[in-house]
C-alpha cells in the first residue's frame, strides 16, 4: 500500500512532530510504501493532498488537528481515496468523532487494520469542512484562541478565550434559514456542525452524527454576561437542549445572513462574511479506521430534508 502522511509539525504544540518516529515505525510494520511530508505554510496541506491524489496514493494519513484535516479534505474531497486521521492537534474533535485513540501507534494500527467507512462531507460558501462552523460569538472565540491561547491547547484554550470574549462581543441580528424554516433574532452564536463537539470537547450539538445526512444546528439568542456564564457548563456537558434562548435543529439546506460581517470559525480557521450558505454531501468522504457506529443505509434513505425538525 502506498501511503502519504501529511504532517503539521506545529499542530498540538508540536505533538505531531514528537510522534513522527513512532508513526513511521508503526507504518513500516505493515510493509507500506510511506511518503511523509510536513506542512511549511498556511494551506500547504491542501497542495500536498492534491499532489498525492495525482500521484496515485492508496491512503492519505493526516497527523495534525482539525485545521490540518480541513486543508487536506479540501485538496482531496472529490476523489475516492480513503483518509486516515491521527489525533495530533489542539482540539481533535473530528478524530474524537471517529473514536480515534490519542496514542499515535494505536492510531496507526487502528487505521491500517480498520475498515473503510463513509461520513458526510460538508460545505459552506463552497469550502469543505468536516467538523464545525461557528458564527458570531464562536467565531470571535476562535479568533482569540488563535491569537493568544493556542499554546494552551484543548478545551482549556477555548474556555479562556470564552471569558476574554465575554467582555468584547457585540450581538448581531441574523436571519437563519434551516430547510425553509426562517428565524430572525439577535444572535449570540449559530453553530452548524457535523460532529457533536467542537472546541476540544464542547458538546454543542450532542445528538449530531457524522454520517446521518444532516447538519446539526445550535442557535443561541443574545445573552448577558451572567446568562452566558450560567449557560456555559450546560453547553460543555451537552445539557442545554431545554434552555429558553437556545434552539437545536437538524437540516440539510442552511443559510446564515447578517447585515454586518460575522466572524466565523471553520474547523478552527477564522474567516469573515455576511452570508454563509451550507450544503451537504451525505456519506461522500471515505474514512479508514473509524470506530463510530455507522447509521444504516436504510435510515439514511428515509430521512426527509424538506423541512427542519428539532433535535
Strand 59-64 to 2-7 pairing: parallel
Please give the helix or strand (H or E) that residue 192 lies within, else none: strand 181-193
Cα–Cα–Cα angle for 232, 235, 239, rounded to 5 degrees: 125
pLDDT in tens, 146-176: 777 766 766 787 788 888 899 889 999 999 9
Instruction: Locate 287 and state its grid cell.
Output: 474514512
> In the chain, which stretches have pLDDT less than 50?
298, 304-307, 310
Backbone phi, psi, residue 27, to 5° = -65, -35
The CA–CA distances, whole Å, from 2 to 48, 58, 87, 237 equal 15, 5, 21, 41
* pLDDT recorded at residue 294: 86
Instruction: Locate 164 and state its grid cell.
Output: 476574554
The answer to whether the pTM exceeds 0.85 is: yes
Spatial contact of 44 and 97, defined as CB atoms under 8 Å apart: no
* Domains of the chain and any CATH numbers: 2-114 (3.40.50.10330), 129-282+305-310 (2.60.200.40)
Q: Is 310 exposed, middle or buried (0-12, 13-18, 19+ CB in 10 A)?
A: exposed
* pLDDT recorded at residue 161: 84
71-93 burial: b if 16+ Cβ within 10 Å, else e: bbbbbbbeeebbbbbbbbbbbbb
pLDDT in tens, 65-76: 999 999 999 999
Amino acid at each position: 500500500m502506498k501511503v502519504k502522511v501529511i504532517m503539521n509539525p506545529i499542530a498540538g504544540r508540536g505533538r505531531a512532530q514528537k510522534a513522527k518516529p513512532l508513526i513511521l515505525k508503526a507504518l513500516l510494520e505493515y510493509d507500506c510504501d510511506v511518503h511523509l511530508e510536513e506542512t511549511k505554510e498556511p494551506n500547504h496541506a491542501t497542495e500536498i493532498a492534491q499532489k498525492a491524489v495525482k500521484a496515485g496514493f492508496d491512503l492519505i494519513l493526516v497527523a495534525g488537528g482539525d485545521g490540518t484535516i480541513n486543508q487536506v479534505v479540501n485538496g482531496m474531497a472529490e476523489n475516492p481515496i480513503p483518509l486516515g486521521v491521527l489525533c495530533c492537534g489542539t482540539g481533535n474533535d473530528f478524530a474524537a468523532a471517529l473514536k480515534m485513540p490519542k496514542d499515535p501507534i494505536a492510531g496507526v494500527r487502528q487505521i491500517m487494520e480498520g475498515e473503510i467507512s463513509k461520513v458526510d462531507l460538508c460545505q459552506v460558501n463552497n469550502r469543505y469542512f468536516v467538523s464545525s462552523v461557528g458564527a458570531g460569538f464562536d467565531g470571535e472565540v476562535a479568533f482569540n484562541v488563535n491569537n493568544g491561547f493556542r499554546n494552551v491547547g484543548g478545551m482549556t484554550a477555548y474556555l479562556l478565550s470564552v471569558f476574554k470574549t465575554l467582555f468584547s462581543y457585540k450581538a448581531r441580528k441574523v436571519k437563519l434559514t434551516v430547510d425553509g424554516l426562517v428565524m430572525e433574532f439577535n444572535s449570540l452564536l449559530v453553530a452548524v456542525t457535523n460532529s457533536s463537539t467542537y472546541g476540544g470537547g464542547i458538546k454543542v450539538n450532542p445528538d449530531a452524527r457524522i454520517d446521518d445526512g444532516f447538519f446539526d444546528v445550535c442557535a443561541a439568542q443574545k445573552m448577558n454576561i451572567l446568562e452566558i456564564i450560567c449557560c456555559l457548563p450546560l453547553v460543555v456537558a451537552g445539557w442545554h437542549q431545554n434552555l429558553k434562548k437556545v434552539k437545536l435543529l437538524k437540516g440539510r439546506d442552511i443559510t446564515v445572513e447578517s447585515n454586518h460581517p460575522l466572524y466565523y470559525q471553520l474547523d478552527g480557521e477564522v474567516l469573515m462574511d455576511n452570508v454563509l450558505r451550507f450544503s451537504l454531501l451525505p456519506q461522500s468522504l471515505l474514512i479508514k479506521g473509524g470506530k463510530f457506529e455507522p447509521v444504516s443505509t436504510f435510515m439514511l434513505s428515509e430521512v426527509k430534508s424538506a423541512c427542519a425538525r428539532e433535535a
